[in-house]
Amino acid sequence: MINMLDLPLTQDGDTMKSQPTRLLTATTVGVALLGGAACDRDTSSRDGALVRDSLGIEIVENAAGLETAPRCSLTPEPLVSLGSVDGPDVTQFFTVWRIKRLHDGGIAVVNRGTNELRIFDVDGSHRLSIGRTGEGPNEYLRLWDVFQRLDDSLVLWDYRQHYLSLVSTTGELGRTMRLSPPFVNQPTLLGLTPENGVLLWQRDFRPSERGFDPVTLHLIRYDANGQLTDTLGQYPYGTSGIISEEMGFAAGALFEPRSRLAAGRDVYAVATAAEREVWIHDYTGRPIRIVRWTGGDRDVTDDDVAAFFDGRIAEATDDQGRRIYRELRAKQPIAEQFPTVTHLTFDDTDRLWVFGYQRPRDESAPPVLIFGNDGRLVCSVKLPDSGFVDAVGADWVLAMEQDEDDVEYVRMYGLLAPTD
CA 19 – CA 331 distance, rounded (Å) = 9
**pLDDT digit string (tens) for 2-59?**
444 443 333 333 322 222 333 323 333 333 333 333 345 555 666 678 998 888 899 9
Q: Which of helix, strand or coil describes residue 175?
A: strand
Question: Residue 177: how many CB atoms within 10 A of its CB?
Answer: 18
Specify the DSSP class assigned to residue 211: B
37-46, 66-75, 118-127, 132-141: the lowest-pLDDT one: 37-46
Mean pLDDT (whole number) for 300-315: 96
Q: Which helix (H) or strand (E) holds 331?
A: helix 319-331
> CA 115 → CA 28, 109, 129, distances in Å?
38, 10, 10
Question: What does the pLDDT read at residue 17?
Answer: 26
Give Rg (Cα) of the chain. 22
Reported as a pLDDT band with limits 50, 70 and 90, residue 61 is: very high
The answer to whether 16 touches 332, Cβ cutoff 8 Å, is yes
Q: Exposure of 344 by Cβ count < 10 A (0-12 exposed, 13-18 middle, 19+ buried)? A: buried
Least confident of 48-57, 177-186, 291-300, 398-407: 177-186
What's residue 237's pLDDT? 94
CA distance 290 to 62: 11
| DSSP collapsed to 3 states, 221-266 | EECCCCEEEEEEEEEEEEEEEEEECCCCEEECEECCCCCEEEECCC
Q: Which residues contact 394 (CB under 8 A, 6 or more apart)?
A: 347, 348, 349, 351, 415
| Preceding amide of 366 cis, omega within 30 | no
- Contacts with 362 (C-beta within 8 Å, 6 or more apart), sequence order: none
Host H or E run for residue 303: helix 302-315
Binning pLDDT at 50, 70 and 90, where does residue 186 land?
confident
In the chain, the percentage of residues whose pLDDT exceeds 70 is 87
Q: What is the pLDDT of residue 18?
A: 26
Residue with the bigger pLDDT between 36 and 265: it is 265
Strand order in the sheet with 377-381: 343-346, 352-355, 368-371, 377-381
Residue 304 confidence (pLDDT):
96
DSSP 10: G
Q: What is the pLDDT of residue 265?
A: 92
Amino acid 67: pLDDT: 83
pLDDT digits (tens, 9 = 90+) for 92-102: 999 999 999 99
Exposure string of 35-60, with b = 16+ CB inside 10 Å and e = fewer, is eeeeeeeeeeeeeebebbebeebbbb
Q: Are 148 and 100 in contact (CB under 8 A)?
A: yes
pLDDT-based confidence at residue 203 (cuts at 50, 70, 90): confident
Q: Is residue 157 over pLDDT 70?
A: yes
Closest CA to 355 of 7, 6, 99, 10: 10
Q: Residue 208: pLDDT band by 50, 70, 90 thresholds?
A: low
Mean pLDDT over 182-199 rounds to: 87
| Residue from 216, 225, 157 nearest 188 by CA | 157
High-pLDDT (> 90) share of the chain, %: 67
Over residues 172-177, mean pLDDT:
91
Q: Average the pLDDT over each of 197-201, 347-351, 353-357, 385-389 and give the range with the smallest value.
A: 385-389
Of residues 355, 331, 358, 330, the one with CA closest to residue 344: 355
- DSSP string over 18-55: SSPPEE------SSPPP--GGGEEEEEEETTEEEEEET
- Range of lowest pLDDT (24-33, 83-92, 130-139): 24-33
Nearest to 154 by CA among 133, 134, 140, 170: 170
- Residue 90, classed as helix, strand or coil, is helix
Return mean pLDDT, the chain.
Answer: 86
pLDDT value of position 16: 26
pTM of the model: 0.87
Of the listed ranges 14-18, 79-83, 100-104, 160-164, the least confidently predicted one is: 14-18
Residue 167, strand partner residues:
154, 173
Please check whether residue 116 is in contact with residue 132, taking contact to mean a CB–CB distance below 8 angstroms: yes
pLDDT single digits (tens) 349-384: 999 999 999 999 998 999 999 999 999 999 999 998
Summarised one tens digit per residue, pLDDT across range 402-418 is 998 889 999 999 999 99
Q: What is the pLDDT of residue 207?
A: 56
Mean per-residue pLDDT for 157-179? 90
3-state SS class at 7 = coil
